[in-house]
Structure 1
Amino acid sequence: MPWVLAIMMFLTVLAAAAGLGLGNAARNLDSQVGNRLVVQIVEANPDVRERQARRAVAELGRLAGVEAVRRVPPEEMERLMEPLLGKGVLETDVPVPAMIDVDVNQTASLDAIRTALTRAAPAARVDDSSQWLDPVARLIASLRWLAAGLVALMVGATTATVVLAARASLDTHRSTIEVLHLMGATDVQVARLFQRRIALDAAFGGTIGLVAASAVLLLIGNRVGALGSELVGSAGLPLASWMVLIALPVGSVGLATLVARTTILRALGKLL
């Protein structure tokens, strides 16, 4: 049984880590992108583009619900477009739109922002990140529910394993139990012997499963960090998530002990 419990704990920790990581990614994505708008000044004439960009920045700073306005500097624009258009694109005659990052809160009205920008800068275009963020958020939510379902299934499988092991051990030691009863032992005292043995097995299996799963998670974390992707990297596990994962084997020991005690006491009650 210890090795069966170790495998189950290994899978449980991996599923729980996936759910916690996806939840962390969803929170980071919402905080970094969910309340942000991108304003582009699409104008071929550089002088007109610059005037409209300045008016747009000034107008955005006066609107209700706008918390921060930042004009993307040319150096950052050059760095963003270099992988696509090559180096030195801003030095050519290619018209590059002016970009403005806008942080808003829940009280901001997208229609009011678009109306105000149209008056101040006719060439302005407002890109709402929620248009592409909503499908991603729904996908993450579905995967989190899947991870939670897997954890629930593994908990059920662990419970069933403990029940079967307790009944098998009871049948194996039936004659010994009868002798203990003749010597005056109560059902509770007999049950304590079984639940202590099962608790030790669950502790051993849970520790092995946690260590193996932690090694896999650390290896995957190193591979993800090497990608350099902020979106994928945001699915990392903070300290609080690791504490939850460490608590899983402890919870499994308590669950196994409770299930073993209940199973043994019921079985002993039927023998009398």
Structure 2
Amino acid sequence: MSAATARLLDPARAGRAMVGVLAIMLFLTLLAVAAGIGAGRGAAALGARLSERATVQLTDAAPAARAAAAARALAALRSSPTVTRARAVPRGELAELVAPWLGSAADDPDLPMPELIDLELAPGDEALATVRSVLRRVAPGAVIDSHGAAVAPLARLLRIASALAAAIAALMVAASAAVVVLAARAGLEAHRATIAVMHGLGATDMQVAGLFQRRVARDAASAALVATAAAAMTAALLVRPLAADIGANGDTVALGAQGWGVLAAMPFLFVGFAALVARRTVTRALARTL
């Protein structure tokens, strides 16, 4: 049966061309899916990490008044049920934050700096509103900055990038299906006389379609091997060094176990999809013309 399949679809230039095109399509699809998963996970991680974080700034001009307001705010925030953790940021940490701009002047004890309180909030939209209410009561001049609001544009951009990557992957799948359809129709046209003889000998449309299906599945499997190897090399060359450069925050753009599982299953799904498209294309064409 394999010899008949090889004769039914030209194994030379046409077969190699289809394998090459399908390999390119699957490689680009794998990259698009990986990018989409990474961007989606990054947006979710940013939201989960920063939506429950906030910073309180007290900027009273008088150091004594500023310190007193910070002490009142810290005590009130620690007693609030919507605050899971409140920590006064030491002056040394503030000096490290401004050192890139001020240099050695950041360590000057006479340099005026605001009092900062780092907050971790309980889940829920009402937590930030409760904190604002507490601060208005004990430290009216305090300013609260929500970390989630600060990175909301970046999270939105990551979600858009994830949706765009999904759309690109869908287009690649559609293009791959079109390649299989064209190859199957070309094979039918090139071997119309042979297929007519097979029908005369008793072969059914499903048996003829099975020949095309097996050949396309074999070509798609070869393409999947090439594309998977290329994608693995790309991941080894780019993803690991990038994660190392990002450091402790690298997990925000990692694919995770589920993401890697999806990528591992895609070559197998690709082969099955190509074989199914070939079978349906040949079956419909034979039903109409032969």
Shared fold by TM > 0.5? yes
Q: Is the 8 A contact 1:177 1:190 kept in 2?
A: yes
Hey, what does 1:154 align to over in structure 2?
172
Deviation of 1:176 (Å): 2.2
Superposed CA deviations along residues 62-100 of structure 1, whole A, max 9, x for unmatched, are: 224222222223443333232222247244311222222
Which residue identity does 2:20 align to in structure 1? W
Unaligned runs of 5+ in 1: none
* Pairing partner for 1:73 from 86, 90, 93: 90
| Cα 1:227–1:233 shift into 2, 3 Å | farther
Give the CA deviation at 1:36.
1.4
Output aligned runs, 1:66-105, within 5 Å. 66-87=83-104, 89-104=106-121, 105=123
Where does residue 34 of structure 1 map in the other structure?
51
The CA deviation string for residues 242-264 of structure 1, in whole angstroms up to 9 with x for no partner, is: 11112111111111111111011
On the 8 A contact 1:20/1:237 being kept in 2, the answer is: yes
Q: Which residue of 1 aligns with 2:12?
A: none
Aligned to 2:204: 186
* Deviation larger for 63-72 or 25-34: 63-72
Report the Cα distance in structure 2 between the residues aligned to 1:269 and 1:107, rounded to whole angstroms: 60
Inter-partner Cα distance in structure 1 for 2:107 and 2:64: 14
Which of the numbers 243, 248, 251 marks the counterpart of 2:266? 248
Scaled by the length of structure 1, what TM-score is found? 0.90
- Per-residue Cα deviation, 1:88-137 (whole angstroms, up to 9, x for no partner): 72443112222222122215343432232133234421112343323222
Matches within 5 A, 1:1-272: 1-87=18-104, 89-104=106-121, 105-225=123-243, 227-228=245-246, 234-272=252-290
Runs of 4+ that moved beyond 6 A: 229-233
Report the 3-state secondary structure (helix = DSSP H, G, I; strand = E; otherwise coil) of the residue aligned with 2:126. Answer: coil
TM-score by length of 2: 0.85
**1:57–1:100 Cα contact (<8 Å) kept:** yes
